[in-house]
Amino acid sequence: MSESSLDFLFDRRSILHFKDEEIPQDVLNKVLVAAQRASAPGGTLTGGYRGAQPISIIVVKDKARRAQLNEMLCEGRKVSIQEAPVSLIFCVDTHRLNRWAAVEGGESHFSGMGVLWVSLRAVYTAAQNSVIAAEAMGLGSQYIQEIVWQPHTALDFFELPKQVMPVTMLILGYPSERPPLAPTLPLEAIVHEETYHDPSDDDLIAYYADKEVYFQNWVKNLPVDSKLRKHIEKKGVETLAQFVSQVTYTESFYRWRDDMIKINLAVSELE
Ligand SMILES: Cc1cc2nc3c(=O)[nH]c(=O)nc-3n(C[C@H](O)[C@H](O)[C@H](O)COP(=O)(O)O)c2cc1C
């Protein structure tokens, strides 16, 4: 592959709005094969056997079910799941693994944090392979994390057996928008040659400068009477770091997330 043929990847951006156009089954199959072929932990036999692939992908295409999913998950952004012709729900699946072990005279002991850790890695490599394959074929995608915050509803909606837990979700379709590229940290911020290099305070500020500019523009364009702008002003928030830590990803928000993760594990009986 030539360097320029990677441009599609370097130019990738999340897509929230889609054309009213189906994804042909052969194109969708390639997105799914990319997930199937992803690196997967656990290949201990010589040559590797792609581990036990403790993942399942639920494909939702039905229009009414997509609308339901939208309602269920994305109150703030009502249209996206509905607009995208396909949703893929990537799940940790140790249910199949345990059943297989039992059927083949093995031991169904696949549960707990170690197995979960391995399975999560398999889910994310598969999901990101799908993102890349989709992008390469002119499709757009967006991760929707909200699937994790509705464990009981997801269990019913997808008729999940125990030990199958949704981890993330992708919506896919032909883009009807081209949003600006999201700013990224510079390479020197995330790449360390040989050993870890702790940045100076000035370096840190420089690393986040592009994101800061993005944030300041975003705040500037918030409507004067918007609730969020008033909240930001009331809190005295002036920088992105303050916004991220004091408005969006607050300590109490993370405590709530901790609880939700525990509920997910309990509901799926994966602890
Ligand atoms: C695991 C994962 C979960 C994500 N979940 C959400 C989400 O729930 N909602 C959302 O708007 N974006 C979500 N994103 C997308 C990021 O917001 C997006 O990738 C990031 O802002 C960079 O933008 P880009 O994808 O356009 O480069 C998620 C991304 C990842 C990798």
Q: Rounded to the nearest whole angstrom, what is the distance from the C-alpha of residue 170 to the centroid of ligand 1?
A: 10
Q: What is the pLDDT of residues 210-245, one digit of tens each?
A: 999 999 999 999 999 999 999 999 999 999 999 999
Instruction: Indicate left, alpha or beta for 18 from its phi (over 0: left) and psi (-120 to 50: alpha).
Output: beta
Q: What is the pLDDT of residues 134-161, one digit of tens each?
A: 999 999 999 998 888 888 888 899 999 9
- Relative to the CA of 146, which ligand 1 atom is closest? 8
3-state secondary structure the chain: CCHHHHHHHHCCCCCCCECCCCCCHHHHHHHHHHHHCCCCCCCCCCCCCCCCCCEEEEEECCHHHHHHHHHHHCCCCCCHHHHCCEEEEEEEECHHHHHHHHHCCCCCCCCCHHHHHHHHHHHHHHHHHHHHHHHHCCCEEEECHHHHHCHHHHHHHCCCCCCEEEEEEEEEECECCCCCCCCCCCHHHHCCCCCCCCCCHHHHHHHCHHHHHHHHHHHHCCCCCCHHHHHHHHHCCCCHHHHHHHHHCCHHHHHHHHHHHHHHHHHHCCC
What confidence score (pLDDT) does residue 15 get? 95
CA angle 232, 238, 241 (to 5 degrees): 95
CB 184 less than 6 A from any atom of ligand 1: no
Encoded amino acid at 171, one letter: I
State yes or no: pLDDT of 43 exceeds 70.
no
Mutation to probe ligand 1, out of 124, 143, 148, 167 (largest number of atoms < 8 A from CB): 143
- Relative to the CA of 142, which ligand 1 atom is closest? 15
**Confidence band, pLDDT 50/70/90 cuts, at residue 73:** confident
What confidence score (pLDDT) does residue 61 get? 97
Distance (Å, whole) CA 240 – CA 222? 15
Q: Which of 127-136, 143-152, 155-164, 171-180 has the lowest mean pLDDT?
A: 143-152
CB 168 less than 6 A from any atom of ligand 1: yes
What confidence score (pLDDT) does residue 47 get? 56
CB 214 less than 6 A from any atom of ligand 1: no
What confidence score (pLDDT) does residue 71 get? 86
What confidence score (pLDDT) does residue 112 get? 87
Q: Rounded to the nearest whole angstrom, what is the distance from the C-alpha of residue 16 to the centroid of ligand 1?
A: 11
Average pLDDT of span 41-54 = 70
Question: pTM of the full predicted structure?
Answer: 0.93
Q: Residues 3-179: name the CATH superfamily.
A: NADH Oxidase (3.40.109.10)
Locate 95 and state its tokens: 């249910």
What confidence score (pLDDT) does residue 44 get? 57
- Relative to the CA of 144, which ligand 1 atom is closest? 8
What confidence score (pLDDT) does residue 58 get? 97
Which part of the chain has CATH 3.40.109.10? 3-179
What confidence score (pLDDT) does residue 209 get? 97
**Confidence band, pLDDT 50/70/90 cuts, at residue 4:** confident
**Confidence band, pLDDT 50/70/90 cuts, at residue 41:** confident
Q: What is the pLDDT of residues 75-115, one digit of tens each?
A: 656 668 999 999 999 999 999 999 999 999 999 998 888 88
- Relative to the CA of 13, which ligand 1 atom is closest? 26
Cβ neighbors of 69 (< 8 A, separation 6 or more) are 60, 81, 87, 157
Q: Rounded to the nearest whole angstrom, what is the distance from the C-alpha of residue 172 to the centroid of ligand 1?
A: 13
Q: Rounded to the nearest whole angstrom, what is the distance from the C-alpha of residue 143 to the centroid of ligand 1?
A: 5
Distance (Å, whole) CA 8 – CA 5? 7
Locate 146 and state its tokens: 């909200």
Mutation to probe ligand 1, out of 11, 13, 14 (largest number of atoms < 8 A from CB): 14
State yes or no: pLDDT of 170 exceeds 60.
yes
CB 59 less than 6 A from any atom of ligand 1: no
- Relative to the CA of 127, which ligand 1 atom is closest? 1
Q: Rounded to the nearest whole angstrom, what is the distance from the C-alpha of residue 101 to the centroid of ligand 1?
A: 35
Calculate the average pLDDT of the chain.
92
State yes or no: pLDDT of 133 exceeds 70.
yes
What confidence score (pLDDT) does residue 3 get? 67
